[in-house]
Structure 1
Amino acid sequence: MKRLILNFLLGTAALAALYSCKKDEKYVYQIGEPKIELKSDVSSAHFGDSLVFKLHASDQEIALSTVKVQLFFTDDKVSETIIRTKENGEYSGKILIPFYKNIPNGKATLKFVLQNISQKTTEQAYEIELTRPDFPYLNLVTESKSYKMEKVGPNEYAATESFPFSVKGYIHAPKVGAQGNEMNFGWVNNAVDFGSITEIPFSNSTSGVYSIKFNTLTYAASPFIIAYAINGTVYSRIDDDHFKAELELKNGEKVTIDGIEDLKDWWIDPDYFTQKSDGTINFNGINGKYRVTADFKMKYFVVEAMDGANLATLKADGTGAIWIIGEGIGKPNIAANQVGWNTDKALCLVPIGNKKYQITVKAGESIHKDNINFKFFHQKNWGGEFGATTISTESDLIFIGTGTNGRDSGNLGIVAGKSLTVGESYILTVDLSQGNSKAVLTVVKK
């Protein structure tokens, strides 16, 4: 048995050595005479085409391996097709001519590289004239309908219709020429790009008749007018449903919100704003800088205190901000947007001055009537927090957890046998006037 194993190992080693020699020999001694004969016209094409080619490949001495068809923009290889060539004969295929932005009409190089099994190669290069396709029209495809975009200039297209102020859709280009392909342009990384059908968020300052435009050379598109503003500060886009503005607000000043046509249907946070019967909105917080995020999905404004370029945190002197994280509370309602233990949803209590902070909740809507489990934090994240030794209350409705009374230290709960009255509002105020370690919570029915 040992002899058989030894013979097997020796035989394997010998074969490996022989193969290695042949492999080295194949690399050193390339034989044969591969030849290419192009059978089709490849002198011109459009960007975006699938260019068809035909050729005859042969080698009278040794078997063929592959033919590579490569497209070069100057020295950069931008596309390649590889065909397995088993025997002498005619072969055909396609190579994609990429459609890139800001590439003008011009010349490129199409290279054919034929290789036989000994790795000997031959190549032929051809100059090809590339032009951008002249689309007769484009289509703006939205969820509800398609709008035809007429050609209004070189590479420039526009659809002029009575549009709403916000239009979401992608752009579709028809096939041009026998070798052309249909193309799509959509939203990628906050810009229009080729090959996507993600909706482009066009927006205008008002609804009505206006033009949506697109340039197939530069990918420039319009309009992207952010039609939303608060006190003249234009909102910046976070995503399709969220826009934010950061600005200085003053207590009691009128707040003007522009561009939101259905503002009357939005929930206005009573902590930060007072809305009068005539629709006028005034700010309730102390003077300072705030981030106001417009949530178009839930139709309300998230207001958060700031300190310079960052969200505010509680300072040692009791100024700054207090945040809520936990269960049983949420704005505009707990059914759709409970905070939970997601710090991204932490609620910022409105600073009302004199180191006091408050939040107004409505039982059955923004707070559970009989089951809560949230606490107050020093920041919109984990870190500093108010525990059983740093906050107290004399409320007969809400108690503060100690870790042994049914809630963790500092977590709030509803007193056993009690509940909040559904439909009624309650103001929770945290007073730090005696120091951050002697916070006092009051609960008052509004």
Structure 2
Amino acid sequence: MKKIIYSLSIVFLLFSACKKEEKEYAYFEGNPTISLKNAPTAANFGDSLVFTVQAADASIALSNLKAQLYYTDTKVSEVTLRTKQNGEYSGKIFVPFYKDVPDGKATLKFILQNVSKKTTEQSIDINLARPDYEYISLVTETQTYRMNKVGRNQYALTANLPYQVKGYIEAPKFGTQGNLMQFGWQNNAVELGSTTSIPFSNSSSGTYTISFNTLNYQASPFIIAYAVNGTVLNRVDDNNYRADITVAKDGEVTFDGIQDLAQWWIDPDFFTKSGSKFFFNAASGKYRITANFSNKYFIVEAMDGNNLASLKTDGTGALWIIGTDIGKPSLAANEVGWNTDKALCLAPIGNKKYQITVVGGKTIKKDAINFKFFHQKGWGGEFTNTTLSTTSDIVFVGSGGTSGRDPGNLGLKAGKTFTDGKSYRFVVDLSQGNTKAVLTVTEL
């Protein structure tokens, strides 16, 4: 019984202590005051505003001081200082360098709070202006170019340049409190705070102008001349540009804006070059044509409406290759492997036939192969030894087990190889149905 009384006494004492603490630190007591000792009246976008405030409360301990910057009614920046005692407090608050924000007034608000959460506020207006740089810089991997001022917020570089220039824009610190501003490429647009290269490019190398506007972030020139049959290719990334277009069999195909086109590998299944002209080899239809600049070739993929084509039950559509020991424009540079994103589309040649042409030792391995035909660019429908046959004296269709290849995977017969530098055409014929596919392999 004494233990119970003792425990209750402790609870009562703790409760009494809490009551005293609540009374000692009741909400909204005291009288916090702010006196501005150093408050700027003008600044530039991109500055770090320096301020000094005298903070005090005669009766209650202080808690914190907040400095908030507003563009119209939108808070764009804030900094919080701890205020343990009365006195002067100094700090910096960043002035954001936003796109399309013209010169104007901003509001700098100071909020002082004591430990009882009572606050006081004081605001001042600040005149803000875009920095008027003498120059900015275009920074590439190999060189930094000076872009001189040619107008308000407008900067330009005119020089003898390669047709592609990749770099980010850097504006120097402006004034005593300025900060370095960097502009790079994000989401197919120029954005502040990035150093990802902006893909400037011209239709040809030579003397031309690269420009940038620090107010609206407009930049030029960009790719406007990469086109197939007059259709501008859309940028996928730095190395790939593509368009979905309808092409006619034997129709002329024009490629515009690719300066070193003569050095590109031209896929013989889809294009024939005659002099300076190109003609389309595959069946008429809609295709996705991707200009791959890293490997200098055109990826051509059959389409069905707005999607990549797949094999239909009637034998029309598309066939795809996934597997090892084959690749375009070369096995060494771009082997397909079991990466479905790199699947090769066979060229539809009509009458439910599909072909791919390879070169021994270049686009196909000479002494071993292990790939198969799929219904789509990805996993799903595929041909096995029960749906695909061949009478080729070079290639066999794997059946699993002792065949040395999984069902449907192609292999080379014992003692057989592809001749180095020789071309071979693989044709899959589905005219008898998708379950009776016939593969022929012909040396050209």
Q: Deviations 1:227-286 (Å, cap 9, x if unpaired)?
A: 21122221111111000122122222232211111111111111111224x343222111
Q: Offset at 1:12?
A: 8.6
Q: Deviations 1:314-336 (Å, cap 9, x if unpaired)?
A: 11221111111111111111222
The separation in 2 between residues aligned to 1:160 and 1:4, in whole angstroms, is 95
Indicate the larger mover: 351-360 or 200-209. Answer: 200-209
- Secondary structure at the aligned position of 1:98 is classed as coil
The separation in 2 between residues aligned to 1:25 and 1:19, in whole angstroms, is 10
CA contact (8 A) 2:355 2:428 kept: yes
Q: Offset at 1:422?
A: 2.3
Q: Name the structure 2 match of 1:38.
A: 36
CA contact (8 A) 2:228 2:254 kept: yes
The separation in 2 between residues aligned to 1:18 and 1:335, in whole angstroms, is 82
Say which of 159, 162, 174 aligns to 1:161. Answer: 159
Say which of 363, 387, 390 aligns to 2:360. Answer: 363
Q: Name the structure 1 match of 2:388.
A: 391
Q: How does 1:293-312 map to 2 (within 5 A)?
A: 293-312=290-309
CA contact (8 A) 1:170 1:198 kept: yes
1:229 and 2:241 correspond? no
- Secondary structure at the aligned position of 2:327 is classed as coil
Say which of 45, 62, 73 aligns to 2:60. Answer: 62
- Secondary structure at the aligned position of 2:313 is classed as coil
Q: How does 1:133-282 map to 2 (within 5 A)?
A: 133-276=131-274, 278-282=275-279
Q: Offset at 1:11?
A: 8.7
1:436 and 2:434 correspond? yes
Q: Offset at 1:17?
A: 5.2
- Counterpart amino acid of 2:416? K
- Counterpart amino acid of 2:172? P
Q: Offset at 1:432?
A: 0.8
Q: How does 1:276-295 map to 2 (within 5 A)?
A: 276=274, 278-295=275-292
4+ runs of 1 displaced by more than 3 Å? 3-29
CA contact (8 A) 1:27 1:119 kept: no
Q: Deviations 1:142-173 (Å, cap 9, x if unpaired)?
A: 22222221222221111111222221111111
**CA 1:182–1:231: 2 relative to 1, 3 Å:** same
Q: Deviations 1:354-383 (Å, cap 9, x if unpaired)?
A: 111111111222111222221111111111
Q: Name the structure 2 match of 1:83.
A: 81
- Secondary structure at the aligned position of 2:332 is classed as helix
The separation in 1 between residues aligned to 2:389 and 2:226, in whole angstroms, is 42
Q: Offset at 1:424?
A: 1.7
**Structure 1 unaligned residues grouped into runs of 5+:** none
Q: Offset at 1:290?
A: 1.1
The separation in 1 between residues aligned to 2:129 and 2:19, in whole angstroms, is 50
Q: Name the structure 2 match of 1:316.
A: 313
The separation in 2 between residues aligned to 1:323 and 1:21, in whole angstroms, is 78
The separation in 2 between residues aligned to 1:29 and 1:320, in whole angstroms, is 75
The separation in 2 between residues aligned to 1:9 and 1:222, in whole angstroms, is 79
Q: Offset at 1:31?
A: 2.3
CA contact (8 A) 1:323 1:347 kept: yes
CA contact (8 A) 2:26 2:116 kept: no
CA contact (8 A) 1:206 1:227 kept: no
- Counterpart amino acid of 2:407? S
Indicate the larger mover: 100-109 or 9-18. Answer: 9-18
- Counterpart amino acid of 1:420? F
**CA 1:337–1:122: 2 relative to 1, 3 Å:** same
Q: How does 1:393-432 map to 2 (within 5 A)?
A: 393-404=390-401, 405-432=403-430
1:331 and 2:345 correspond? no
Q: Offset at 1:346?
A: 0.6
TM-score of the two chains, using structure 2 as the length reference: 0.94
The separation in 2 between residues aligned to 1:63 and 1:368, in whole angstroms, is 80
The separation in 2 between residues aligned to 1:380 and 1:36, in whole angstroms, is 68
